[in-house]
Structure 1
Amino acid sequence: MLEELQRLQAHIGVLKTRLAHYESETQSLAEAKQQAEEQHHAQIVQRNGVITQKQEEIESLSEQLSTSQAQFQQLNQDATALADRYSRLEKSCTDLKNRFQELLAERNELRVIKEKLQNEQRQTLQNVQSLQQERERLLQKNEHAKAKVEAIIQRLAILGTAQDQHAQEIQQLAHPTDVSEEA
């Protein structure tokens, strides 16, 4: 029994050392656990801060995204409006180009007509000048003819009176009785 007691005491001693070892191990584990919990709590706090910061960043980025989407929609509307306006301007440009071509064609036609009218005017002026010269020549000829006719009339008048006297003399000689009756 003594042996057993000694053995039990030895077991108890081993158990006590084991117990002390386990207690120290438990205490170091508890300290490690406490440190781990503190670290874990610090990490949780840090991660919560990071999460909060990330959520704030997400909110900020969401606001930026909303703003960017609104800007994008506005830019799309502006681009559509500009495309429509460009299309209208391009059509207007084409219309203006066509109108310009028409105006050039009209200008060329008017130039041809102007040159034709200028030629006709020159010819008309030449005709007027030649007609005026002809008129002057005819007026001079007419004056000359008038002068001749007047000279002829004067000569005939002179001749007529002389012939009248001769005719009366001849008549008197041919019909002496008629003349005496008249007298």
Structure 2
Amino acid sequence: MLEQLQRLQTHIGVLKTRIETTEKENSALLKEKDNSEEQAHAQILHKNGIITQKQDEIESLTEQLSALQKQFTQLNTDATALAERYGRLEKSCTDLKTRFQEILAERNELRILKEKLQTEQRHSQQEIKDLLSERERLIQKNDHAKTKVEAIIQRLAILGTEQDQHAQEIQQLAHPSETNEEV
């Protein structure tokens, strides 16, 4: 029994050693668990901070997306308005080109008409010069004839009474305005 007792004591000693070792291991494991929990908690806090930061970034990006979509919509509206305006301007430009071509055609017609009128004017001026020179020639011829008639009248006046009466009639025919003044 002593032997058994000693064995029991040895077993108890071994068990105490094992218990101490197990307790040491247990306390080391508890420390390790606490460290792991702290690390896990720190990682969770870090990850939660990252998640919060990412959610803030998502919200910011969502707001930017919304603003950009509004801007895109506005730009599309502006582009449509500009396209319509460009179409109207293009039509106006085409109309102006057509009108300009019409004006050029009218200008060419007016140039032709101007040249024609200038030619007619030159011919008319030449005709006027010709008529003036003819008038001058006729006036000279008339004066010459008048002088001859007056000379004939004077000769007839000298010829006699009976002939004088005929001369007066001829004179009245030659100068009807003078006889009207006398009457």
Give the TM-score, by structure 1 length.
0.77
Counterparts of 1:21-60 in structure 2, within 5 Å, are 21-60=21-60
1:171 is aligned to none
2:20 is aligned to 20
Alpha-carbon distance in 1 for matches of 2:3, 2:117? 157
The worse-fitting range, judged by mean Cα deviation, of 10-19 and 99-108 is 10-19
Q: How many residues are paired up?
A: 164
Higher relative contact order (Cα pairs below 8 Å, separated by 6+ residues): 2
1:81 is aligned to 81
Query: Unpaired segments of 5 or more residues in structure 2?
Result: 165-183
Alpha-carbon distance in 2 for matches of 1:30, 1:57? 39
Alpha-carbon distance in 1 for matches of 2:20, 2:146? 175
Query: Unpaired segments of 5 or more residues in structure 1?
Result: 165-183
Which amino acid is 1:59 matched to?
Answer: E
Alpha-carbon distance in 2 for matches of 1:92, 1:72? 29
Identity of aligned residues (%): 71
Larger Rg: 1
1:69 is aligned to 69
| RMSD between superposed Cα atoms in Å | 2.3
Give the direction of change, closer, same or farther, for the CA distance of 1:160–1:2 in structure 2 (3 Å limit).
farther
1:150-169, Cα deviation, whole Å (9 max, x unpaired):
333443454564769xxxxx
1:96-154, Cα deviation, whole Å (9 max, x unpaired):
22222221221111111111111111111111111111111112112212222333344
Give the TM-score, by structure 2 length.
0.77
Which amino acid is 1:51 matched to?
Answer: I
Alpha-carbon distance in 1 for matches of 2:44, 2:98? 76
Alpha-carbon distance in 2 for matches of 1:85, 1:51? 49
**Once the 2 structures are TM-superposed, how far is the Cα of residue 8 of structure 1 from its aligned partner?**
4.2
**Once the 2 structures are TM-superposed, how far is the Cα of residue 35 of structure 1 from its aligned partner?**
0.8
Alpha-carbon distance in 2 for matches of 1:5, 1:96? 128
Counterparts of 1:158-169 in structure 2, within 5 Å, are 158-159=158-159, 161=161
